Amino acid sequence: MSTTQMLKGIIDGCILAIIHEKEIYGYELAEKLEQYGFDSFSEGTIYPLLMRMQKEELVTSTLKKSTAGPKRKYYSLTSKGEQELRQFIKRWKLLQSSVNSVLKGEENE
Partner 1 sequence: MSRELSKESMGFLHQLKLYLMSDGKNEHEIEGIIEELSDHLQMAESQGKSVHHIIGQSPKEYMAQIAAEMNYDKKAWIKFIVTIIFGVFSYTILSRSVEGNLSFSLINAAGLTAIVAFLIWAVFFMFKYIAANNPSKAKEYLLFFLFSLVSFALFIALILIDQRVESPTISFNGPGTIIISIITFAFLLWISIWSKTWTVLIFLSFLIVPDIVLKQTSMDINTQISLSTTITLGGIAVYLFVVNKKNKAT
Q: Which residues here bind partner 1, judged by CB under 8 A?
A: 25-27, 30, 41-45, 47-48, 51-52, 55, 68-73
Q: Among residues 4 and 97, whose Cβ is nearest to partner 1? A: 4
Q: Among residues 1 and 68, whose Cβ is nearest to partner 1? A: 68
DSSP string, 14-77: HHHHHHHHS-EEHHHHHHHHHHTT--SS-GGGHHHHHHHHHHTTSEEEEEEE-SSSSEEEEEEE
Q: Among residues 49 and 92, whose Cβ is nearest to partner 1? A: 49
Q: What is the dihedral of CA 40, 32, 16, 78, to 10 degrees?
A: -140
**Closest approach of partner 1 to the CB of residue 10, in Å:** 18
**Closest approach of partner 1 to the CB of residue 51, in Å:** 4
**Closest approach of partner 1 to the CB of residue 80, in Å:** 18
Q: Among residues 25 and 92, whose Cβ is nearest to partner 1? A: 25
Q: What is the Cα–Cα distance from 26 to 45, expressed in whole angstroms? A: 10
